[in-house]
């Protein structure tokens, strides 16, 4: 029984500290932001409640990544899930919030069920709930058990992280919470699942065979593509960001999966490099997704709508928010010299060096994974051109956007801080990589004293002897110098005057917001190109005055929610059907129920004797 009361509760190794840093660096600006965001929108009692929930939410996440006991971990994990459920349904007046909360709490508990199963198996072998005790017990665990535990952990944490096809709750739940909470949920909470995978699979269980890594890579690749294709389709700005979180979790897991793969092949350098890439993208995603959700919240606060088809022209009404959103969008689209670029480059580099150095057919597999990453990054750029362009540029498409006002200082402060981080994490890549190398080394157990990932203080170099370099400060400097040079040329050569005039309207009549391109139109080529997956369909309706004159024309376009339609709905139908047939044994007689309990007891005793 003494095992139930552990002597040591906390673990502050580099991995825990890294995640603690991620949690607080996103939560602090979000909390500052919420000062302005909550004001005016909610009653004072509700604001107090929001602060209370936020505090517990952040603390529970902090405990999740620092406790060193499986049982305590599970308790805080559950607190985190429950509090985030309350935050999802915080706007109780929305019907959608309740529904989103329902989907979320069911999915998250299915995930927890898998985790409990995995943890019980671990306990059975180790006889202890302590991380280190389990870790040492895992070294003598039979391979078959390890495989089962791995799959259970993957399903459990995968649900929280939003790996396809377990991502179904994420695009419902994240947008529904108040924006500063969305930013923490997408920026940080789903990362605790990555923490779980790294902590339990890589650190405690130990990567056993290469198919673990390959399985994770395949899932991650699918997650990337599915996430970004859906993000391109939606027109609710917060849902777009939520789907993009699914995509980015995929990119992070490409790094982590690759690290597992190399670890099983016993290639320390590449394992560390991939782990660095994954962790780097993890913190990058926390920063820019946190930032983008805060910006989306500002837009929502200022306009009252999240539908980007009704927005537009906000760059003039909310100039600062627009700049912050642009920086976040550039970061997430992996544009140099910002942070997303560095981590995606590192991930590609890890794939390249892997394909170069390993032996056998897996080379081609790694090359294809890299191509998927490239496609994802191209689609992400398109997605954020759409998100920024339709929301902030051109003319306002509705009165919502026309009357928008810039948000208060506290909200701007939160966004300013995070957009600064996007730039800093791009430029200070070498410093960050050195820290991440320490974290990766403590997780994988490989010695990094002889490894070098940088050429000098400004230049990354995964392989210096092969002259593979990347220097974001130098790139930034060059871009600025040559941009200024372009400006000088522009001033020197031009004598002509600049006239402000209408947009070209084909000499027809003055064009207005109705002539602007819409988000749905912007994504149409993608909808058609990926129609095999999206299964789009449309409804058209003509309202006629007479046979010759059509008064109005209604056109609606939809995409089929493939996972909901072909996986979750049949599953639910099956569950209901089973439940219905179970009713046959529920006759309402108490004697019968006592009989059932007795039979169950006997069966359990037999089960325990047998196994």
Partner 1 sequence: MFKIIIIILQLILFIIISPVLSGLISKIKNNIRMRKGQGILQPYYNLAKLSSKGEVVSETASWIFRITPFVVFASMLVSALLIPVFILRSPLNHAGDFLALIFIFSLGRFFLALSALDTGSSFGGMGSSREMFISSLAEPAFCMAVFAVSLQFGSTDISAFSGAHTIAVSSIVAGVTLFLVTIAETSRIPVDNQETHLELTMVHEAMLLEYSGRSLALIEMAAYIKQMILFFLIAQIVFPITLPVYGNLPQIFFWILWYLGRIIIIAIAVALVEVSVAKMRLFRVADFLGLAFVLGVIASVCAILGV
Positions in 474-493 near partner 1 (CB under 8 A): 474-475, 478-480, 482-487, 489-490, 493
Q: Give, as ranges, the residues between 195 and 214 that touch partner 1 (CB under 8 A).
A: none
Kindly state the number of chain residues that form the binding site for partner 1, as judged by CB under 8 A. 91
The residues, ordered by sequence, that sit 6+ positions from 171 with a Cβ below 8 Å of its Cβ are 230, 234, 239, 242, 243, 246
The answer to whether 93 contacts partner 1 (rule: CB under 8 A) is: no
| Shortest Å, Cβ 339 to partner 1 | 12
The number of residues in the chain equals: 611
Task: Closer to partner 1 by CB, 41 or 513: give it.
Answer: 513
Q: Among residues 128 and 349, whose Cβ is nearest to partner 1?
A: 349
Complex with partner 1: residue 172 or 351, whichever CB lies closer: 351
CB of 543 to partner 1, least distance (A): 24
Minimum CB–partner distance for residue 497 and partner 1 (Å): 5
Residues in CB range of 244: below 8 A, 6 or more apart: 227, 228, 231, 289, 332, 380, 383
Smallest distance, partner 1 to C-beta of residue 292, A: 15
Minimum distance of partner 1 from residue 368's CB (angstroms): 7
Strand partners, 116: none
Tokens 């403590």 appear where? Answer: 442
Stretch in the footprint of partner 1 (CB under 8 A) among 203-211, 417-425, 503-511, 590-598: 503-511
Task: Between 30 and 274, name the residue whose CB sits nearer to partner 1.
Answer: 274
Site for partner 1 in 276-315 (CB under 8 A): 312-313, 315
Specify the residue, 5 or 501, whose C-beta has the smaller distance to partner 1: 501
Q: What is the DSSP letter of 6?
A: -
For residue 63, the minimal CB distance to partner 1 (Å) is: 38
DSSP string for residues in 233-294: H--BHHHHHHHHHHHHHHHHHHHHHHHHHHHHTT-HHHHHHHHHHHHHHHHHHHHHHHHHHH
Among 188, 252, 302, 330, which residue sits at the site for partner 1 (rule: CB under 8 A)? 330
* Out of 43, 140, 144, 501, the residue judged to bind partner 1 by CB under 8 A: 501
Report the C-alpha gap between 568 and 369 in whole angstroms: 28
DSSP for 327-371, written as a single string = HHHHHHTT-TTSHHHHHHHHHHHHHHHHHHHS-STHHHHHHHHHH
The burial class, CB within 10 Å (0-12 / 13-18 / 19+), for 577 is exposed
Choice between 127 and 512, CB closer to partner 1? 512
- Minimum Å gap between C-beta 163 and partner 1 is 22
Least Å distance, CB 364 to partner 1, is 6
**Of 283, 325, 335, residue with least CA distance to 472:** 335
Are 91 and 97 within 8 A, CB to CB?
A: yes
Q: Which of residues 335-394 bind partner 1 (CB under 8 A)?
A: 335-336, 341, 344-345, 348-349, 352, 355-356, 363-364, 367-368, 370-375, 377-379, 381-382, 384-386, 388-390, 393-394
Nearest CB to partner 1, comparing residues 99 and 459 = 459
Q: Which of residues 97-156 bind partner 1 (CB under 8 A)?
A: none
Kindly report the number of other CB atoms within 10 A of residue 113's CB atom: 14
Element (H, E) at 383: helix 362-392
Say how many C-beta atoms besides its own lie within 10 A of residue 66's C-beta. 21
Neighbours of 265 (CB within 10 A): 18
Contact 309/280 with Cβ under 8 angstroms?
no
To the nearest whole angstrom, how small is the minimum distance from the Cβ of residue 498 to partner 1? 5
Shorter beta-carbon distance to partner 1: residue 469 or 568: 469
State in angstroms the smallest separation of the CB of 554 from partner 1: 20
Q: How far is the CB of 311 from partner 1 (least distance, A)?
A: 12
Residue 472: CB minimum distance to partner 1, A: 9
Interacting positions 508-567 with partner 1 (CB under 8 A): 511, 513, 515-518, 521-526, 528-529
The residue among 185 and 302 lying less far from partner 1, judged by its C-beta, is: 302
Of 367 and 574, CB closest to partner 1: 367
Binding piece for partner 1, criterion CB under 8 A, among 13-21, 75-83, 88-96, 473-481: 473-481
Stretch that binds partner 1, among 44-52, 176-184, 432-440, 496-504 (CB under 8 A): 496-504
Which part of the chain contacts partner 1 (CB under 8 A), choosing from 97-105, 174-182, 189-197, 465-473? 465-473
Q: What angle separates helix 131-138 from helix 95-126, to the nearest 10 degrees?
A: 60
Query: Which tokens sit at 111?
Result: 């995930």
Interstrand relation of 468-470 and 536-544 (parallel, antiparallel or unpaired): unpaired
Q: Which positions from 403 through 462 interact with partner 1, judged by CB under 8 A?
A: 455, 459
> Distance from CA of residue 324 to its chain's centroid?
19
Q: How far is the CB of 267 from partner 1 (least distance, A)?
A: 16
| Contact pick of 504, 509, 607, 611 for partner 1 (by CB under 8 A) | 504
Q: Please pick, from the candidates 94, 96, 316, 542, the single residue that binds partner 1 as defined by CB under 8 A.
A: 316
**Residue 214 Cβ, how far from partner 1 at the closest point, in Å?**
17
Answer for the pair 418, 29: CB distance below 8 angstroms, yes or no.
yes
Residue 131: closest CA among 9, 15, 14: 9
Q: Which residues pair with 236 in a beta bridge?
A: 307
Q: Which is nearer to partner 1, 442 or 518 (CB)?
A: 518
Whichever of 92 and 503 has its CB closer to partner 1, that residue is: 503
Among the candidate windows 147-155, 198-206, 404-412, 497-505, which touches partner 1 by CB under 8 A? 497-505
441, exposed or middle or buried, with CB in 10 Å at 0-12, 13-18, 19+?
buried
Strand order in the sheet with 468-470: 454-456, 459-463, 468-470
């Amino acid at each position: 029984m003494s095992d139930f009361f552990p002597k040591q509760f906390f673990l502050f190794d580099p991995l825990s500290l890294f995640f603690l840093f991620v949690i607080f660096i996103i939560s602090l600006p979000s909390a500052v932001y919420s000062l302005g965001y909550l004001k005016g929108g909610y009653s004072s009692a509700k604001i107090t409640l929001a602060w209370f929930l936020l505090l517990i939410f952040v603390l529970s996440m902090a405990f999740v990544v620092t406790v060193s006991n499986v049982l305590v971990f599970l308790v805080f994990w559950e607190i985190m899930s429950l509090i985030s459920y309350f935050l999802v349904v915080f706007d109780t007046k929305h019907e959608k919030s309740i529904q989103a909360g329902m989907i979320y709490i069911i999915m998250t508990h299915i995930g927890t069920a898998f985790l409990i199963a995995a943890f019980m198996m671990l306990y059975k072998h180790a006889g202890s709930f302590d991380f280190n005790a389990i870790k040492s017990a895992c070294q003598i665990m039979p391979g078959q058990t390890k495989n089962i535990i791995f799959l259970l952990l993957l399903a459990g944490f995968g649900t929280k992280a939003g790996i396809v096809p377990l991502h179904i709750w994420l695009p419902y739940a994240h947008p529904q919470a108040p924006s500063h909470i969305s930013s923490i949920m997408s920026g940080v909470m789903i990362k605790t699942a990555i923490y779980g995978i790294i902590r339990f699979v890589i650190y405690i269980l130990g990567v056993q065979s290469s198919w673990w890594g390959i399985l994770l890579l395949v899932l991650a690749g699918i997650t990337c593509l599915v996430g970004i294709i859906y993000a391109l389709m939606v027109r609710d700005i917060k849902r777009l960001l939520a789907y993009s979180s699914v995509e980015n979790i995929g990119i992070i897991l490409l790094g982590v999966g690759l690290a597992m793969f190399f670890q099983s092949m016993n290639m320390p350098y590449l394992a560390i490099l991939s782990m660095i890439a994954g962790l780097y993208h993890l913190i990058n995603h926390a920063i820019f997704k946190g930032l983008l959700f805060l910006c989306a919240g500002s837009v929502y606060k200022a306009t009252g709508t999240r539908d980007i088809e009704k927005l537009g022209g906000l760059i003039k009404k909310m100039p600062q928010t627009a700049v912050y959103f642009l920086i976040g969008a550039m970061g997430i689209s992996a544009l140099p010299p910002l942070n997303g670029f560095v981590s995606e480059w590192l991930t590609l580099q890890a794939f390249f060096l892997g394909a170069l150095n390993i032996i056998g057919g897996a080379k081609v597999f790694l090359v294809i994974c890299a191509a998927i990453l490239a496609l994802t990054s191209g689609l992400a750029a398109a997605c954020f051109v759409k998100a920024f362009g339709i929301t902030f540029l051109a003319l306002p498409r509705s009165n919502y956007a026309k009357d928008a006002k810039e948000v208060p200082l506290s909200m701007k402060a939160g966004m300013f801080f995070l957009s600064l981080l996007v730039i800093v994490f791009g430029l200070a890549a070498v410093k960050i990589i050195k820290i991440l190398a320490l974290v990766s080394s403590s997780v994988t157990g490989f010695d990094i004293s002889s490894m070098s990932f940088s050429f000098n203080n400004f230049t990354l170099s995964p392989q210096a002897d092969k002259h593979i370099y990347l220097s974001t400060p130098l790139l930034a400097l060059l871009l600025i110098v040559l941009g200024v040079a372009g400006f000088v040329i522009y001033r020197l050569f031009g004598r002509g005057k600049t006239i402000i005039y209408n947009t070209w309207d084909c000499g027809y009549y003055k064009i207005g917001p109705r002539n602007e391109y819409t988000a749905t139109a912007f994504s149409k080529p993608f909808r058609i190109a990926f129609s095999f997956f999206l299964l789009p369909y449309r409804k058209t309706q003509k309202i006629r005055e007479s046979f010759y004159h059509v008064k109005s024309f209604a056109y609606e376009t939809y995409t089929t929610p493939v996972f909901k339609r072909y996986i979750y709905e049949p599953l639910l139908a099956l569950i209901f059907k089973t439940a219905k047939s179970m009713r046959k044994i529920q006759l309402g007689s108490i004697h019968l129920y006592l009989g059932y309990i007795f039979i169950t007891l006997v069966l359990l005793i037999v089960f325990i004797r047998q196994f």
